[in-house]
Amino acid sequence: MRRFSDARARSHASYWAFVVHRVSGLLLALFLPMHLWALARAINGEMALEGFLRAVDRPLFKLAEWGLVVLLALHAAGGVRLLLIEFASWSGLRKDLIALSAGVGVVAALAFALALFY
Amino acid sequence: MTSAAREARLWYWQRMSAMVLALCVLVHIATIVYAVRGGLTAAEILSRTRGSIAFGAFYVIFLLACAVHVPIGLAAILEEWFSLPRRAARVVSGVFAAIMLGFGLAALEGVVFA
Amino acid sequence: MGAVMKVKVWRGREDGGFQSYEVPREESQTVLDVVTYIQRRLDPTLAYRYACRVGMCGSCAMTVNGVARWTCRTHVSRVVKGDTLEVAPLSNMPVIKDLAVDMAEFFDKWARAKGRFAGAETRRDEFARVEPKSPARREADAGIECIGCGVCYASCDVVTWRPDFLGPAALNRAWTLVNDARDVERRERLAAVAGDAGCHACHTQGSCTERCPKQLEPTRAISGLKRLVAKAARRGEL
Specify whether the backbone of A17 is left (phi greater than 0), alpha (psi in -120 to 50) or beta: alpha
* Reduced DSSP (H G I as helix, E B as strand, rest coil) percent helix, strand, coil of chain C, to 5: 40, 15, 45
Name chain A contacts of B15, Cβ cutoff 8 Å: 83, 86-87
Residue A3 domain-assigned? no
Instruction: Give the pLDDT score at A42.
Output: 59
Cβ of B80 within 8 Å of Cβ of C234? The answer is no
B111 touches chain A (CB under 8 A): yes
Whether A17 maps to a domain, the answer reads: yes
Q: In terms of domains, do C225 and C108 share one?
A: yes
**Segment C28-67, tens digit of pLDDT:** 999 999 999 999 999 999 999 999 999 999 999 999 999 9
DSSP letter (8 states) at residue C182: T
Does residue A44 register a pLDDT over 70? no
Nearest to B65 by CA among A84, A76, C228: A76
Q: Is residue A2 part of a domain?
A: no
**A61 vs C24: which has the higher pLDDT:** C24
**What's the CATH number where B7 sits?**
1.20.1300.10
| CATH code of C175's domain | 1.10.1060.10
What is the number of domains present in chain B?
Answer: 1
Quote the domain boundaries for residue B17.
3-113
- Asked if residue A23 is part of any domain, the answer here is yes
Tell me chain A's radius of gyration from C-alpha atoms.
Answer: 18
φ, ψ (nearest 5 deg) of residue C9: -125, 135
C135 vs A66 pLDDT, higher one = C135
**C3: Cβ contacts below 8 Å, ≥ 6 apart:** C24, C25, C83
Average pLDDT, stretch C2-9? 92
Chains in contact with C via at least 3 Cβ–Cβ pairs below 8 Å: A, B
Among C101, C135, C157, residue at a domain's last position: C101
Whether chain C has a CB inside 8 Å of the CB on A58: the answer is: no
Residue A14 within any structural domain of the chain: yes
Interface test with A, best of B20, B32, B48 (most A CBs within 10 A): B32
Burial of C121 (C-beta count, 10 Å sphere; 0-12/13-18/19+)? exposed
Bridge-partner residues for C20, per DSSP?
C8
Question: pLDDT by residue (tens digit) across B31-88?
Answer: 888 887 777 776 677 777 777 888 889 999 999 999 999 999 999 999 999 999 999 9
- A90 and C204: CB-CB below 8 Å? no
Q: Please report, for the domain that includes residue A87, its CATH number.
A: 1.20.1300.10
Instruction: Tell me the longest C-alpha to C-alpha distance in chain A.
Output: 57
Distance CA B86, CA C176 (A): 30
Do C109 and C226 share a domain, yes or no? yes
Both C128 and C208 in one domain: the answer is yes
Any B CB within 8 A of C158 CB: yes
Q: Tell me which of B3, B10, B11, B81 to substitute to probe the interface with C (most C C-beta atoms closer than 10 Å).
A: B11
CA distance C152 to C169: 7
Q: A77: distance to nearest CA of chain B, Å? A: 8
- How far is the C-alpha of A96 from the C-alpha of A83, rounded, in Å? 15
Any chains having at least 3 CB pairs less than 8 A from chain B are A, C
Give the number of domains in chain C. Answer: 2
Alpha carbon distance A72, A36 (integer Å): 15
**Structural domain containing residue C220:** 104-234
User: Residues C195, C111: one domain?
Assistant: yes
**Rounded-to-integer distance, Cα C219 and Cα A81, Å:** 13
Please list the residues that pair with C70 across neighbouring strands: C61
Give residue-wise pLDDT tens across range C154-202.
999 999 999 999 999 999 999 999 999 999 999 999 999 997 789 999 9
C56: CATH:
3.10.20.30
| Distance (Å, whole) CA C30 – CA A15 | 27
Largest CA distance in chain C: 68
Task: Considering only the beta carbons, identify the residue of C160, C204, C224 that sits closest to A18.
Answer: C204
CA within 13 Å, CB half, C207: 29
Count the domains in chain A: 1
Residues of chain C positioned with their CB less than 8 A from the CB of A22? 203
Q: Min CA distance, A14 vs chain C (Å)?
A: 6
Percent of chain B scored above 70 by pLDDT? 95
Give the chain B residue whose CA is nearest to the CA of A112. B33
Domain of A52?
A: 9-117
CA B42 to chain CA centroid, nearest Å: 22
Query: Does C52 share its domain with C130?
Result: no
Average pLDDT in chain A: 84
Pick from A2, A7, A90: CB nearest C220: A90
Shortest CB distance from A14 goes to which of C67, C210, C223? Answer: C210
Angle formed at CA A81 by CA A29 and CA C172, multiple of 5 degrees: 105
Record: contact C203-A22, CB cut-off 8 A: yes
Instruction: Tell whether A80 is covered by a domain.
Output: yes
Gap between the Cα atoms of C7 and C10, Å rounded: 10
Residues of B in contact with A80 (CB under 8 A): 22
- How many CB atoms neighbour CB C120 within 10 A? 10
Among C158, C200, C203, the residue with its CB nearest the CB of B8 is: C200
C104-143 residue pLDDT tens: 999 999 999 999 999 999 999 999 999 999 999 999 999 9
The pLDDT, as a whole number, for residue B53 is: 85
